[in-house]
Structure formats: C-alpha cells, structure tokens
Amino acid sequence: MEMDFQAPYNKWRACPNEQLYTAPIVAYVPDNKKDVQRNLQKEARGCQWLVLWLDCDREGEAIAFEVIEACTQVNSRLQIFRAFFSTLRPPEIRQAVANLGRPDPRLRDAVRARQEIDLRSGAAFTRFQTLLLQVGLCRLLCIMGQGD
C-alpha cells in the first residue's frame, strides 16, 4: 500500500506547506499492485487460516497487516497467525510452525507513524525547496534580462 494526501492537498500549489502537517492522508493500493491484492483475495476466499511468513521486522509486520486487510475483506472468518523466524533452515522453519503467534499491531502502528512523518515532512520540505528555487530562478532571469 501507499500513502498520499487527499485532494486537494496532493496538488503542489493547493495549500500552504504548513497545512501538510495536518492534511488528511489516505492509504491505498496503487494500480500496479492491484493484481497482487486480487490474487490474495482469490486465495483467501476458500481458506480457514492465514499464516503470514514475512520478514520479522517492523516493515514485515506492517506488510502483514496489509495482507490481513486485503484477505479479511473477502473472508472475515480467517484465523490469522504469524510465523517468527530469522533463517530458512529446516529446524528454524519447524520451530516457527510449532510456535505461531499473532501479528503485533503496535509494530504496524510504529511503521505507519514513520511513514506519515516521512510523507508530511518530505513533501513540505520538497515543495518549499522546489518553489523557492523556482522563484529564485525567475528573479535571476529577470535580473539578467534587465542587464541586456
């Protein structure tokens, strides 16, 4: 999934930069990932369990919840588990299967908070810097034009 500002805040000149720090944000499945979402939903329809085997870090946990969201849209009865592992050696895989846990929403929330901070501060700074350079370039061109 991706995050972006809701309209009109996703337009560069629609609002002052400081409004980006409180503007509404939307999470969505981008067009180039819709096939992945449809495939997950197709598979989830006939399942009883969803066992998530994603990287055992915060980003993996955030992706796990994205998979959960896609799958539970079509099958709300899924029993959801998470495998915890650090290598793909057979003993560790067996250990992970024997000790399935639950996804941790706190880790997902930590990733979402970082993503939101990155989006807000990155967009505000990039817009500020780009527009400042455009104004500066226009002034420079005007000055150069006056000297002719």
pLDDT number for residue 140: 65
pLDDT number for residue 27: 92
* CA end-to-end distance (rounded Å), the chain: 53
- Helix (H) or strand (E) holding 143, with range, is helix 105-146
d(CA 70, CA 51): 14
> At 79, is the secondary structure helix, strand, or coil?
strand
pLDDT tens, position by position, for the chain (148 residues)? 999 999 999 888 888 888 999 999 999 999 999 999 999 999 999 999 999 999 989 999 999 999 999 999 999 999 999 999 989 999 999 999 999 999 999 999 999 999 999 999 999 888 888 877 777 777 766 776 764 4
